[in-house]
Structure 1
Amino acid sequence: MDLSTIITFSASAISGIAGLFIHRYISRAKPTLNVTSLGFDGDVIEIDEEVQSLSRKCNWTDSISRYVSYDELSKFQLEVSQIEAALQQEKENVDKWMEHFLADGTGKQFSIGQMMRSPLIEGLRVFHPYLKGMLRRREVPELPTTLEELKALPDIFPLEITNEVYEIHCGNFAIPFRKKEYSEEMINHLELILYSISKGEFSNYMKIHEHFSSYAGSQLYNYQKIKNSVKEHLVSDAKLSLKVSISNLGQTPIIIKPYFAAKLVFGEKSKSMVLENIDKSGKQDEIPFIDIVRSEQYQNHLHQLITLVFSQGEVLKLI
């Protein structure tokens, strides 16, 4: 064998070996780990009787059961915060509006423009359920002007009465009240309130707003108390929840065991712990995990979402 043949053979061998290593490098396993969300989670929480009783006094939300999930209690806290903000804003609007008209005064009736700018009309999304709830709870204020006196006044907003419904027509929208939703003894109170709005009668209309301000104040007190109590439950029962996406972007299959650890860093101090793998889907695998990752479906791409639950911390690092 001459020298040129040896060189050619050696070059081919080296190229083949180099190509094999390059192919293995390109097609190597490329596992990646991405944190997709970080939040708080928890188990079923037992609510004490005091908080349950307080929730029954809050008219804008459902009462709390004795046992609720952490997620349900978190949603309840969010709902309470939203309602509290809406009531606080509407109460401030009512108090400012009343202060203005009590200081400056007006005639026997409000004008159409004054009525359209009043809190009851502008804040109808709050006032409409308030009026309906007030009648159902039979917490109706004493209005100074009688129904007979109201009927003698000219209309500001037309009031349409049928066999099934009362409707106050306010320009391009109406305020409906269905008769079947109220008891017979409350119909007279309902008509008195509706005529007070329809006629824009000053005394009664101011009294309705005054009653709302007092009612909103008591509801805000209850909601602030229950919000603080719910927050205490959520904080004491909270566990930090981490969702991680694990995948293999390479061509070589790998097996990833669902065992992880976390390192919490508190300034110069740190704490390492083993994380718990939680199945949030509620479904049980029909075959063991080790067999699943060896199946054809997972040979080229492995992607599993794992929720890791552990105690509270400030900074999180996976190790």
Structure 2
Amino acid sequence: MPFVTDIVGPQHPVTEWPPLRPGMLRRATTIDTHPQDSHRADAQLRARDTRAGSSGTLEVVDDVVVLARLTDHVIDEISGGDPRLGRLLGARVGGGFRAIVRNLLGSDTTRSPALYLLLDDWVGASLVTGYGAHHADLTGGVEWPMSDAMSDHLAGVCSGFAPDASAVDFSRRNMLMPCVRGPLAPPLGGDGMPPGEPLRPHGMRRMRRLDVSPNGATAAFDAHFRDSHADADGIETVVHEYTVTGEIDVATQSISHLTAEARVLPWQECPGALASAQRIAGMAVADVRDHIRTEFTGISTCTHLNDTLRSLTDAQALLAARAR
């Protein structure tokens, strides 16, 4: 099987989620994409906000399910508890979709509800489904040829595709798009996990967890992000995985410090993006999502780390839920 093995990045997936302790709040989401053929796919988007009471009892604060069917990433069918979702029919889940979502939800976006995270994150989840198509072709004996122009287009996109990165060098030397088979995905779940079905063969899943633990003047946060893929036999492997931990100053609602860790990434240069996370230290939590969207670009960053950091804005919604 022609998967690249000598230039891969870290391969150390998270093996379990921590339990919810009294006073903690958790937002957990999954976005599953199941291809029906090369053009059509079903998508299942789920989110759950959970609060742990002082006695350890768990209360579901918000629970969202969105089901959709797409053709070439264009929404043909969509359903969920919010009637506004119908206005997304005909929209393409790609460039410009986040602006459509902002217009759809309006002032709700400032409160960072779970529905907003799901729809905003759908763009990134849709983007990485290209891995599934690449994997299916490779295992079927079909390689993806590349030209020098295509390699040049990739170079500079992110840290893993810096002009001198090993993946870019591989594509230029072999005129092929490289592909990595990640480590087996340890099953995750437990407290606050939204219910869902197992990932189907050839499907992809984007999974998130954000825990917030208020403690007087500060609130600790612990974020986990994973993209995974199921092969033809249903064996699930990890494609991307990050964890980010830190603290929020409750009075100023700003990030006082944070630490980002690369758990699973395809290329050995990818962890070079970790230093970019420090650029949001001291920033107001409410500003993180927009700042990263406009300012975090190029070889000092990683698309998937950016998506992980953007989700930290949701800590304000969890803190507000605790106050209520």
TM range (shorter): under 0.3
TM-score by length of 2: 0.20
Whichever structure has more strand as a proportion of its residues is 2
Could you say which structure has the greater relative contact order, defined with CA pairs below 8 angstroms and 6 or more residues apart?
Answer: 1
TM-score by length of 1: 0.20
Whichever structure has more helix as a proportion of its residues is 1
